[in-house]
Amino acid sequence: MDFAKLQASTEKNGWDDARRRMMSWSEKRKHKRLAVKLDLSCRKVGSPAEKFYTGHTVNVSPGGLYFETAADAFKPGNLLRVELSIPPTAGLLELGGRISGLGKVLRTHDSHTDINLPPGGYGVALGFYRSPKLCM
């Protein structure tokens, strides 16, 4: 997947520059993150309830992602199966697609501790066990 083309297509939708700059001050990651807002759905692996949660990404890399959600359901150590919706993009993915992966919740934030989150919102940092796969 060509992240440069995906980044160029998302610039039209706008990015939260302040959050992107704030998150980059402590970049010690193996992979560069792409600030992109994609719809996300996920579920806890091994949970007896097959409940799906929704949200949107703030940034994505081959090693992990950070997403925002209204659900206060995630704790560090939870295993999640995630799926990202890639919108159709001319010259890249004409019909759109999905990226799916398995990851572990590394940390969570809420709107009381992170002023960048909407009121009642939650942020979740997820590390992938292996790079996610593109499905079309």
Q: What was the pLDDT predicted at 25?
A: 44
25-83 tens-digit pLDDT: 455 557 788 899 999 999 999 888 789 999 999 999 889 999 999 999 999 999 999 99
Q: Does the pTM of the predicted model rise above 0.85?
A: no
Residue 21 pLDDT more than 50?
no
What are the structural domains of the chain?
Answer: 35-135 (2.40.10.220)
Is a pLDDT exceeding 50 seen at residue 110?
yes
**pLDDT classification of 15: cutoffs 50, 70, 90:** very low
Secondary structure class of 114 (helix, strand, coil):
coil
